[in-house]
Amino acid sequence: MNSRTYGRTGKPVSEIGFGGWQLGNRQDWEAMEDDAAVRLVHEALERGMNFFDTAPNYGLGKSEELLGKALAGKRRNAVINTKFGHQADGSSNYGADQIRASVEVSLQRLQTDYVDSVLIHNPPFDMLDGKHGHYEELEKLKAEGKILTYGVSVDSIPEMLEVIEHTNIGVLEVMFNIFYQETAEAFKRAQDNNIAIIVKVPLDSGWLSGKYNSQSSFEGVRSRWSPEVIRKRAALLEQIKFITNEETTMTMAALRFILAYPEVTTVIPGVRNSAQLIENISASAAAMPEAHVKKLQDLWITEIRDQKLGW
């Protein structure tokens, strides 16, 4: 597994990380058994994956709990990112006066006395510039050693620029993949400010795993796609099949496209079993050919950017 530097912390992190949304998540998937989840985290560590992304609302607190259980006695081998804003009871509260309590409960679930980073989890735009006191509270927690750095999780260029230009954050978690390339326009600005970049939704909610087609139907959180959007996405998948071959799955290629950007620190696909874990990690074994990267970038500009695909 290749590693990259986690911004101002100076810590090396695996360029393929562990997206923990699915751990204990019975709302959107059939949750894996607790012991299986713990074994999966252990296997990730053994295979060189050391970056773990979670949040209080993932599995209504269960994701943090399982991660804490799995990393007990192994904390020094892991880099943990959690969040603030969406709470374990399913509600949202972005009040700056709630940050400390949220972080301290996360630390309890994670069975640790510090986390490497805390992100404000998709807050309203008005909160991004820090005028409501959020970053002052995070600075206090940093001074106390309870967090090493902090930032925000956002989805768009305007949000990224707002925090890059008006704050001193150390981490940005952003949506970016072959079908959603807008955010790359701000990558260099982030890098110039020594801001680590975590890429979320790297497989476009499963589409870039190659397992869906025009006949696919969806339940739960994925039922948001209309029949028209499903047809559009399926047609685009046909256009990008050139990035796969006998040794390279669609998942591996999709992750390699993201890793072709040197500004990216780590990418966090979800993982539910050992086979998915191995496939994700395999993306780190080789680089996407430059010609393929350029062709995908051109496809975004000419055919994808103006389509209404949602997320």
Q: Give the pLDDT confidence of 291-311 residue by residue, as tens digits.
A: 999 999 999 999 999 988 877
pLDDT of residue 208 exceeding 70: yes
Encode pLDDT of 116-160 as tens digits: 999 999 999 999 999 999 999 999 999 999 999 999 999 999 999
Is 58 catalytic? The answer is: yes
Phi, psi at 49, each rounded to 5°: -90, 120
Q: Mean of the per-residue pLDDT values for the chain?
A: 94
Encode pLDDT of 42-101 as tens digits: 999 999 999 999 999 988 889 999 999 999 999 999 999 999 998 888 888 999 999 999
Calpha distance 240→122 (Å, rounded):
30
Which of 6, 58, 94, 135 is labelled catalytic?
A: 58
Band of residue 24 on the pLDDT scale cut at 50, 70, 90: low
pLDDT given at position 32: 72
pLDDT of residue 219 exceeding 90: no
Angle ∠(267,269,274) on CA atoms, nearest 5: 125
pLDDT given at position 76: 96
pLDDT of residue 28 exceeding 70: no
Band of residue 25 on the pLDDT scale cut at 50, 70, 90: low
pLDDT of residue 29 exceeding 60: no
| Across 23-32, 139-148, 192-201, 252-261, least confident range | 23-32
* Domains assigned to the chain: 3-211+249-288 (3.20.20.100)
Percent of the chain with pLDDT over 90: 83
